[in-house]
Amino acid sequence: MSRPVGPYTPSVRAGRWVVCSGQIGLEEGVLVAGGVVAQARRALENVGGLLAQKGLSWADVVKTTVYLAAIDDYAVFNEVYADVLGEHRPARSVVAVAGLPLGALVEVEAWAYTAG
């Protein structure tokens, strides 16, 4: 898990909610090679790691927000997202943006809810 690239906390528990800050495709502080597919997979793995640190998994996620540097990557991102999340389908928003930290191609944030 890479350190944050700004002054924020990667994940915060608020009662039964866990909010994961946006994650990009960093591994050991460097964007992974391989374009949007590799960065998307790594960003999702990074979110999964934050969830695991709080004792949660993707099954607990109720909402994600995805930021893409290019909306043309929407279909490719969907393939990676479906592969990582399996049959789980939280609510989701996808937004095309002018730029992301460190020149990333994708960023993913998540909201998870736990019954306990």
Q: Say if CB 66 and CB 77 are below 8 A apart.
A: yes
pTM value is 0.94
For 33-77, the pLDDT digits (tens) are 999 999 999 999 999 999 999 999 999 999 999 999 999 999 999
Q: How confident is the model at residue 115 (pLDDT cuts 50, 70, 90)?
A: confident
Contacts of 30 (CB under 8 A, 6+ apart): none
Per-residue pLDDT, averaged over 24-31, amounts to: 95
Three-state helix/strand/coil letters over the chain:
CCCCCCCCCCEEEECCEEEEEEECCEECCEECCCHHHHHHHHHHHHHHHHHHHCCCCHHHEEEEEEEECCHHHHHHHHHHHHHHHCCCCCEEEEEECCCCHHHCCEEEEEEEECCC
Q: How many CB atoms lie within 10 A of CB 12?
A: 13
The larger pLDDT score, comparing residue 105 to residue 4, is at: 105
Topology of the domain comprising 21-113: 60s Ribosomal Protein L30; Chain: A; (3.30.1330)
What residue segments make up the domains of the chain, in order of their start?
21-113
Residue reference for tokens 């999340």: 85
Give the pLDDT of residue 1: 57
